[in-house]
Chain A
Amino acid sequence: MLEVEAISVAYGPVRALTEVSLRVAPGEIVALLGANGAGKTTTLATISGLQRPRAGVVRFEGQPISGLAVEAIVRRGIAHCPEGRRVFAGLTVAENLLAGGAIHPARTDFSADLARIYTLFPRLAERAGQHAWSLSGGEQQMLAVGRALMARPRLLLLDEPSLGLAPLLVAQMFAAIARLNRESGLAILLVEQNASVALSVAHRAYVLENGSVRLSGAADALARDERVRAAYFGG
């Protein structure tokens, strides 16, 4: 459903991506791994329209989307949950979720969406009336994912959902990601530095290095790969 074909992206003179290609099929969780500065965030930003590729094309469900505005791409069915959570701090949890549904018509009934999100992350239901700034980091991450789901995407882009979370919360977050994919067939492109936990839920993975795809393949094969183990599992 998503085809990224040989995209190159630069920030001014700084080259961030060189001819990166990757694919996500319907119902798949695909992990995008790599060290700091490898270009993972840039790849997601280019898919969601925040960055324009200098060369190459991004296709979603057969249509090229790499020229479209950010607001138009989310309407095609791609929700981007960005690095650093970026919750609307001064809005309540419920208001953040409402904002997440911005692409739907004004009188849309969100009760089923909210029920699903609150089942996935019961903490959010307890905190529905609280301002987002008052949430813990883990709760903010849950809110960021919930907000992205409100768009009813067919493809979810997740950028480091485990960043800064305690191990128990990381496990919960990844259980939720796996459940979303299993129960509703949501396709997910998952950026992670934590390779072992990402490969445990992903079907396939790509490894980025200095802005290029270095390795790719089935998640379990990559998890056993010596090069991956050496670089991303701390030896």
Chain B
Amino acid sequence: MPQLVVSGLTLGAVYALVALGLLLIFSAARVVNFAQGQLLMIGAYLAIAAQVRHGLPAWAAYGLTLAAMALLGVVFMLVAWRPLRGRPTHLVILTTIAMGIILENLALIVWGPLPVSLPAPLVGRPWRVAGGVITMQQMFVMGTTMLALVALSLFMTRSRFGVLMRATAQDLDMARLVGIRVDRTIAAAFAIGSGLAGLAGLLVAPLYLAEPTMGGSLGLKGFVVAVVGGFGNLPGAVVGGLGLGLIEAFAARYVSAEYRDAVAFIIMIAMLCVRPRGLFGETVGERV
């Protein structure tokens, strides 16, 4: 029982990171990036390439991965968003889906279809807490997610750049009229969002294996979690992510391992029927 909680929360933390990245991009560009899961997958492979293939120490491999992912986010913005600026949103969303497919096939070509693993960066004895066991990697995943939540929330509300990003999302033309260089705020949002996906990827790779198709369901779950959290609410997304992780862990144990995703989605849909704006959705327009 405590073990289910630990593994559920760990997986949930990964969903939460995917959701945070989605929300960051949405917070400036007003676009739901359906390639977020594929970006995560690329992050996992980049970390593996740096650490396993090229033998870099974990901290260097992680640093390089995050930097490369931020850069990839900017490229993503220039390719998938910039040319479609001012066009209907569904076109941009379709483009992000296409980008996801491209990234997945690229990974298939470069790294092949077989799952690969990444060694955990922190080695040490697992902790025993309340009858359960927490490994260092699980602690690392949950701790990093909480840190990311706090840092992002402060950035969006306390920093000037965060305020300018939110202004950009709310009214693009008005943002330009006050002189915000919207290409920069939006590129930064994509860089941070993609970096978060990369972070999720390098955290998840030591727990599960990396494979080119891993992104699809992770991206979808990140999206569901963001919606359940009240799309735009950062702490809500994390609560939603942890909740989904827990539901899945318990569903796999007590209902059926095969149908755990189905059970999880049914519960999420039921929740949205009760609270259409999500758990923490606000009544009027505020979205980070």
Beta-carbon contact of B170 and A90 below 8 Å: yes
**Least CB distance, B188 to chain A, in whole angstroms:** 13
Q: 1/0 contact trace for B155-180 toward A, CB 8 Å?
A: 00000100110110011011111111
Give A90's nearest chain B residue, CB to CB: B286
Stretch at the interface among A80-88, A113-121, A200-208: A80-88
| From B167, B181, B284, B287, contact of A99 by CB (8 A) | B167
Q: 1/0 contact trace for B267-288 toward A, CB 8 Å?
A: 0000000000000000011111
Beta-carbon contact of B285 and A89 below 8 Å: yes
What are 7 A-B contacts defined by CB distance under 8 Å?
Answer: A50-B177, A69-B176, A90-B166, A96-B167, A99-B163, A99-B164, A133-B286
Q: How far is the CA of A74 from the CA of B176 in the complex (A)?
A: 9
| From B174, B176, B179, B288, contact of A88 by CB (8 A) | B174
Extra A-B contacts (7), CB below 8 Å, given A71-B180, A90-B285, A102-B164: A69-B176, A82-B177, A88-B174, A90-B287, A95-B167, A103-B179, A151-B179
| From B163, B181, B288, contact of A98 by CB (8 A) | B163
Q: How large is the interface on A (under 10, 10 to 19, 20 to 34, 35 or more residues)?
A: 20 to 34
Using a Cβ–Cβ cut-off of 8 Å, how many residues does chain B contribute to the interface with A? 22
**Least CB distance, A11 to chain B, in whole angstroms:** 15
| From B166, B176, B180, contact of A91 by CB (8 A) | B166
Beta-carbon contact of A91 and B177 below 8 Å: no
* A75 interface residue (CB < 8 Å to B): yes
| From B163, B179, B286, contact of A74 by CB (8 A) | B179
Of residues B167, B175, B180, B284, which shows the largest number of chain A Cβ atoms within 10 Å of its Cβ?
A: B167
Q: 1/0 contact trace for B96-121 toward A, CB 8 Å?
A: 00000000000000000000000000
Beta-carbon contact of A71 and B286 below 8 Å: no
Q: 1/0 contact trace for A42-86 toward B, CB 8 Å?
A: 000000101000000000000000000111001100011010001
Q: Which residues of B contact A75 (CB under 8 A)?
A: 179
Binding site for A on B (CB under 8 A): 160, 163-164, 166-167, 170-171, 173-182, 284-288
Give B157's nearest chain A residue, CB to CB: A95
Q: Which residues of A contact B177 (CB under 8 A)?
A: 48, 50, 70, 74, 80, 82, 86
Give B287's nearest chain A residue, CB to CB: A90
| From A74, A89, A131, contact of B178 by CB (8 A) | A74
Q: Describe B's contact surface by its main secondary structure.
A: helix
Q: How far is the CA of A109 from the CA of B177 in the complex (A)?
A: 21
* A211 interface residue (CB < 8 Å to B): no
Beta-carbon contact of B176 and A98 below 8 Å: no
Give B184's nearest chain A residue, CB to CB: A71
Give B162's nearest chain A residue, CB to CB: A95
Q: Which residues of A contact B174 (CB under 8 A)?
A: 82, 86, 88
Q: How far is the CA of A133 from the CA of B286 in the complex (A)?
A: 8
Beta-carbon contact of B173 and A88 below 8 Å: no
Q: Which residues of B contact A70 (CB under 8 A)?
A: 173, 176-177
**Least CB distance, B155 to chain A, in whole angstroms:** 14
Q: Which residues of A contact B171 (CB under 8 A)?
A: 86, 88
Q: Which residues of B contact A106 (CB under 8 A)?
A: 160
Q: Which residues of A contact B173 (CB under 8 A)?
A: 50, 70
> Known contacts A99-B163, A133-B284; is A71 also within 8 Å of B170 by CB?
no
| From B164, B167, B179, B286, contact of A131 by CB (8 A) | B286
> Known contacts A88-B166, A88-B167, A88-B170; is A99 also within 8 Å of B178 by CB?
yes
Q: Which residues of A contact B287 (CB under 8 A)?
A: 90
Beta-carbon contact of A95 and B285 below 8 Å: no
* A40 interface residue (CB < 8 Å to B): no
Q: Which residues of A contact B166 (CB under 8 A)?
A: 88, 90-91, 95
